[in-house]
Chains A and B, each alone.
Chain A
């Protein structure tokens, strides 16, 4: 019985939202309500997730397991942020400084590491993947894109050179669209599988 109710709810909610995409004005209220319920449930799942996270970290600190020092720091930072968040409004200057002055430098440094990593990875791509049509095309197109992005080559408008430049600028978009079509169709089929009950991530396997 539990399975059937879950299946009916999933299918009805999915079909209503799908129909709402096509009949936007007629079903706006209903889809809005369903989306709000969804957001509420996701929020609740988030709370349960946070509870699980806290439980795991406390257990790690309590048993003095490997990594417990990091867990203690994480827990302390979490508790302070939540505590401050309860008493101070989101616009409060001290609260924003407390959060953003830690978060932004950390994220920026990760982005810097990513840039260097990708640069090094591009240089050693032949070693990683060997001499293949894909790797050679990748390197050539990356090189051309880098040169073009310098903006040194600027042919006069409405000349064959300008048209060629336009073509070269568009080529990556063509490849991007090709990959996106594959991803979009794959996503569509996954969604339809859930709607047609061929896939049920919300229930126990039999």
Chain B
């Protein structure tokens, strides 16, 4: 079996499993994922910050697409959509920071679609800059202009994300991160208490919206991971035994 064929099999299994479980969960049943206390406390802090008149900040990444992590930008937009849907009355109480023009357009589209008649063109959308350094510099300048509430870091970031979260904590903001490359996750582990790592990041949108599609995504991800791990362990065992 070639690598291309293995790729087809994994993608095919993912697609079939998504469609099948979406169909099943639309009729009955649900899939429960591991509890995420960090997410619960992030949502609670967003609510408290809103009540206190502070600005909740949502950081959607320094870019939409990267070669190594192509889905992180889309995932960040999905999270933004979920968060917007949770708090439809709080448009002016949010600052959305994005690194590039296309992310800005998508974010604007999401908020415009969610708030519709209540949408104000004065949405606090900060376009910072397309590199991690530019994002850091641009966001820090914006952050000082608003009383920081809960700050969520999503999407494409590198280790500079850790510096952003450290600055947020210094300002009295309450950071939460579900973002980034491996480098970012390692650096964020040191600075951010409320942090999602690895596959946990991709559970996030489904925690805001428990529609069958997200439930199907959770179970598909879990099934594929278990299958891959089993294959790895079997292959390692066979190699140790000298069979392959």
Cα-based distance from A48 to B130 in the complex (angstroms): 14
Contacts of B4 in A (CB 8 A): 22
User: How many Å from the CB of A159 to the closest CB on chain B?
Assistant: 21
The total of Cβ contacts below 8 Å across the A-B interface reads 182
**Cβ proximity bits B55-86 to A, threshold 8 Å, 1 near / 0 not:** 00000000010000111101101100100010
Cα-based distance from A81 to B163 in the complex (angstroms): 27
Q: Is A89 an interface residue (CB 8 A)?
A: no
Question: B202 contacts A180, CB within 8 Å?
Answer: no
Within 8 A of A (CB), among B86-139: 100-102, 104-106, 109-110, 112-114, 116, 125-127, 130, 133, 136-137
User: How many Å from the CB of B231 to the closest CB on chain A?
Assistant: 11
User: How many Å from the CB of B179 to the closest CB on chain A?
Assistant: 11
Q: Is A143 an interface residue (CB 8 A)?
A: no
Q: Is B160 an interface residue (CB 8 A)?
A: yes
Q: Is A146 an interface residue (CB 8 A)?
A: no
Contacts of A188 in B (CB 8 A): 10-11, 14, 71, 224
Question: B202 contacts A118, CB within 8 Å?
Answer: no
Question: B74 contacts A67, CB within 8 Å?
Answer: no
Interface-central residue, A42, A179, A186, by most chain B CB under 10 Å: A186
Identify the closest chain A residue to B187 (Cβ).
A118
Question: B71 contacts A128, CB within 8 Å?
Answer: no
Contacts of B142 in A (CB 8 A): 67
Identify the closest chain B residue to A59 (Cβ).
B122
In the complex where A186-B75, A189-B18, A201-B106 touch, is A22 in contact with B7 (Cβ < 8 A)?
yes
Question: A50 contacts B69, CB within 8 Å?
Answer: no
Contacts of B15 in A (CB 8 A): 192, 195-196
Contacts of B136 in A (CB 8 A): 110
Question: A201 contacts B81, CB within 8 Å?
Answer: yes
In the complex where A114-B160, A192-B15, A196-B19 touch, is A187 in contact with B110 (Cβ < 8 A)?
no
Question: A187 contacts B70, CB within 8 Å?
Answer: yes
Q: How many residues of B contact A (CB 8 A)?
A: 71
Within 8 A of B (CB), among A44-59: 45-50, 52-53, 56
Identify the closest chain A residue to B133 (Cβ).
A107
Question: A190 contacts B105, CB within 8 Å?
Answer: no
Q: Is B33 an interface residue (CB 8 A)?
A: no
Chain B binding surface, main DSSP class: helix
Question: B114 contacts A183, CB within 8 Å?
Answer: no
In the complex where A52-B127, A182-B199, A187-B69 touch, is A70 in contact with B141 (Cβ < 8 A)?
yes
Contacts of A186 in B (CB 8 A): 71, 75, 198-199, 201-202, 221
Contacts of A203 in B (CB 8 A): 109, 113
Interface-central residue, A113, A189, A202, by most chain B CB under 10 Å: A189
23 pairs of residues in contact across A and B, judged by CB atoms under 8 Å: A18-B11, A22-B7, A45-B105, A46-B100, A48-B105, A50-B127, A52-B104, A110-B137, A117-B166, A121-B191, A176-B182, A182-B202, A183-B202, A185-B14, A185-B221, A185-B224, A186-B202, A188-B14, A189-B217, A190-B78, A192-B11, A198-B18, A201-B78
Interface residues of A (CB under 8 A from B): 18, 21-22, 41-42, 45-50, 52-53, 56, 66-67, 70, 106-107, 110, 113-114, 117-118, 121-122, 125, 128-129, 138, 176, 178-183, 185-196, 198-199, 201-205
Interface residues of B (CB under 8 A from A): 4, 7-8, 10-11, 14-15, 18-19, 22, 64, 69-72, 74-75, 77-78, 81, 85, 100-102, 104-106, 109-110, 112-114, 116, 125-127, 130, 133, 136-137, 141-142, 144-145, 159-160, 162-163, 166, 182, 185, 187, 189-191, 193, 197-202, 213, 216-217, 220-221, 224-225, 228-229
* Given A118-B190, A196-B15, A204-B116, 15 other A-B residues pairs in contact with their CB atoms under 8 A: A18-B11, A41-B102, A45-B102, A46-B130, A47-B101, A52-B104, A110-B133, A110-B137, A181-B225, A186-B198, A187-B71, A187-B75, A189-B14, A192-B14, A201-B81
